[in-house]
Amino acid sequence: MLADQSDTPADSQIVEHFGQPDFDPETVRQYRNRFASRAPDHPWLLLDDTPLLTKLSALRRDRATGLEGATVAGLLMFGRFEALRDALPGFHVDYRERLSDDPAVRWTDRVVPDGTWENNLFQFYVRVMQRLSGDLKMPFQLDRELYRKDDSAVHEALREAVVNALVHADHRGQGGVVIERYPDRIELSNPGSLLVSRVQLLQGGVSECRNKSLQLMFQLMGGGDKAGSGMDKIRAGWRAQHWRSPRLEESLQPDRVKLVLPMVSLIPDEVDQALRVRFGDRFAKLDKTAVQAVVTAQVEGSVTNGRMQEITGEHSKDITAVLQNLVRDGLLTQQNQRRWASYRVAEDSPQSDDDSPHLTPDSPQCSPQFAGDSPQLPPNFPQSERLVGLSSEILDLLPLAEPARKNKKLPVDQLKDVIQQLCEGRWLATSELAALVDRDAEKLQSRFLTAMVREGSLELRYPDVRNRPDQAYRTVSKTL
């Protein structure tokens, strides 16, 4: 059905047997009005609908074959309900409001293709922005054409976030675009993977779009920025409101990207007070970055180096130093190692006396044999730094891991067998498995665990978010 797929961007491909009659005239009219409000002197506005739609790449003619008709972008932006259903059967958009405290209420409002409206991207965008803007308890007005008046940084950030989800989505992927509004956050999820690295995304200035024609259409009516500053605008809008920094998550199989926009104070008063009571002067004397790290760990359950880069914009090495200092001083505890490392608020507060000694990994008190009620290593097993901090239940598995610990060159199949035995009937994290078999965690993950999941011998505890810092593995049960 799709023509010239090899050399043409995905959304500029011509969909055979579809043309301008498959566009909704009212959507085209509303788009023209939005375009005119944004750029009243633009020369394209002097054109009739057909040449205007051609300029927008909603209609196109293939010079090589002579084939002409509607493009994927044209149908997505302006298409009628029936045309979208026939041409792009996997296309789906969904907006859900979950603002009720009653667990029996699944949602308080929803916008989903149901035959009552032309479910193209333009109409979806208009409806979603009406609801998101109306829910914000701050001065804001929309004019008759739903264009902004007395705009704010938060509303600009919301527009960028919604447009990003629509133009970066793989609209043939699984799950469609889903936008969910909660009392304390907004979540925008779309099919597809990131086309730039997280580092490039955080630094800004780099733009790589999956649907370039859609991007142009939204730009001309005031949404989206091709210069790679979209994430900068989103973060700036949230900073202006003193809300916690947006969080980006990526999952695989199926590929999806989720942007979480917390509508929670950067440092909630109740959290600040609780941490001051818990840690006393040691928390009060922390610098801004360290405070953010501890508060984030408390509010979000854990904090990672990547999350702190999103919040502060500081270099990863500087953040690592801050996090390690907080571990040393007893405010955070570390989970996992290296790039999988995450940090939680320490459960037990050390003595608040400034003259009291701080324990370090080299202190004898930190060693299991001097740890009082801490787990003891089984007999005949030498002390290992990797084993420090493991629970007694994990240490009880050491006899199963002995073949791998004794032989660093154990054949691949035998090491996999050991891992399967260790994970039989229980969830084990990468760091725990690495400690048991005495291997580097990063290499164990890349060379063995990922392959075993792919082969079906291991399963993930959190299959929808494969790169979670607390990801764990279990042996797949064999059924007769």
Domains in the chain and their CATH numbers?
10-87 (no CATH), 93-262 (3.30.565.60), 270-345 (1.10.10.10), 377-475 (no CATH)
User: What integer pLDDT is reported at residue 441 of this predicted model?
Assistant: 85
User: What integer pLDDT is reported at residue 1 of this predicted model?
Assistant: 57
Per-residue pLDDT of the chain (480 residues; tens, 9 = 90+): 555 444 567 899 999 999 999 999 999 999 999 999 999 999 999 999 999 999 999 999 998 899 999 999 999 999 999 999 999 998 999 999 998 888 788 889 999 988 889 999 999 999 999 999 876 655 444 544 444 445 678 888 999 999 999 999 999 888 899 999 998 899 999 998 887 666 666 665 556 788 999 999 999 998 766 555 578 888 888 888 878 888 888 888 788 999 999 988 888 888 888 899 889 999 999 998 999 999 999 888 889 988 898 888 788 889 999 999 999 999 999 987 766 788 999 875 444 344 333 333 333 333 333 333 444 445 444 445 567 667 777 888 998 999 999 998 899 999 999 999 999 988 998 888 998 999 988 889 888 999 999 999 999 988 877 777 678 899 997 653
User: What integer pLDDT is reported at residue 294 of this predicted model?
Assistant: 94
Give CA–CA dist 147/34, Å, rounded.
Answer: 7
pLDDT 10s digits, 435-447:
899 998 888 988 8
Q: Which sign does the torsion angle of CA 123, 129, 132, 138 carry? A: negative
Tell me which H or E stretch contains 159. Answer: helix 153-167
Residue 357 amino acid letter: P
Give CA–CA dist 113/96, Å, rounded.
Answer: 12
Q: How many Cβ atoms are within 10 Å of 455's Cβ, its own excluded?
A: 10
What pTM was estimated for this model as a whole?
Answer: 0.63
For the chain, helix (H) and strand (E) counts, in that order, are 20, 15
Query: Contacts from 273-278 at CB under 8 Å and sequence distance 24+?
Result: 274/298, 275/345, 278/349
Give CA–CA dist 196/324, Å, rounded.
Answer: 29
Q: 223-238: b or e for each residue (b if 16 or more CB lie within 10 Å)? A: bbbeebebbbbbbebb
